[in-house]
Amino acid sequence: MTDETEADPELMEQGRKLFLRPCVFVAGAMTASQLPGATLPEIAFAGRSNVGKSSLINALTNQKALAKTSQTPGRTRQLNFFDCDGVVQLVDLPGYGYAKAPKSDVKAWTKLTLGFLKGRKTLKRVMLLIDSRRGIGDKDREIMTLFDQSAVAWAVVLTKIDKLSQAEQQKVITNVQAEAARHVAAWPGVFVTSAEKRIGLDEIRAHIITLT
């Protein structure tokens, strides 16, 4: 957590309560025509394959397998939508940057996902997940630039913080915050999380509440 992500206890409580209510899978879209109706406010989760998108969605919603998690990266090729009790929709975006993926994959990600990011009126925020152990990589930088160009409001979430020592944590938080701050469309804070140890979840839930 950074100063900016420190949340009002009241909002954290509201967020915690929201995600005790049922979240259900509503749609998996591989083409624009398969996207569900844009009615609820939406929060999308983006990041490299294996960064921990599905694990974070499961942790936020208190479910074990709402979003499928996999040891094998590069499997999720569609946009998955989860409706949380008619209040907000979470969107699990396809991962990018999987080394073994065919070259055409990057283009496919760009076409379907960018189309969604650019055209979706109900999209309130993209949470861009960064693996704490890796920090920001070139693929992440390309995506940040795409977000900026598409006027997508995004925020950085560090994942798997449990894998780092205190000193390593401080270093990656500082570096990632400094880099995000150089982007106009980035929210000026870094969410620090572990889906496994359930760290930083109430701060993200509180942030989501402010967007509903």
Ligand X SMILES: Nc1nc2c(ncn2[C@@H]2O[C@H](COP(=O)(O)OP(=O)(O)O)[C@@H](O)[C@H]2O)c(=O)[nH]1
**Binding stretches for ligand X (CB under 6 A):** 47, 49-55, 69-71, 73, 95, 159-160, 162-163, 194-196
- Ramachandran region of residue 166, left (φ > 0), alpha (ψ -120 to 50) or beta? alpha
Residue 83: both structure tokens together: 């409706």
76 near Mg ion, rule: CB under 5 A? yes
Sign of CA dihedral 112, 36, 122, 189: negative
- Residue 97's binding partner among ligand X, Mg ion, none (Cβ under 5 to 8 angstroms by kind) is none
What order do you get walking across the sheet with 42-47 strand by strand?
A: 23-29, 79-84, 88-92, 42-47, 123-131, 154-159, 186-192
| Shortest spacing between CB 165 and Mg ion, in angstroms | 27
| Shortest spacing between CB 186 and ligand X, in angstroms | 20
Angle, CA 151 vertex, CA 150 and CA 154 arms, to 5°: 105
Question: Between residues 5 and 50, which has the closer beta carbon with respect to ligand X?
Answer: 50
Rounded to whole angstroms, how far apart are CA atoms 92 and 103?
22
| 51-59, 104-112, 148-156, 183-191 -> range binding Mg ion (CB under 5 A) | 51-59
Determine the residue type at 40. Answer: L
| Shortest spacing between CB 143 and ligand X, in angstroms | 13
| Shortest spacing between CB 72 and ligand X, in angstroms | 9
Distance of CA 46 to the CA centre of its chain: 5
54 near Mg ion, rule: CB under 5 A? yes
| 3-11, 74-82, 118-126, 162-170 -> range binding Mg ion (CB under 5 A) | 74-82
Question: Between residues 57 and 136, which has the closer beta carbon with respect to Mg ion?
Answer: 57
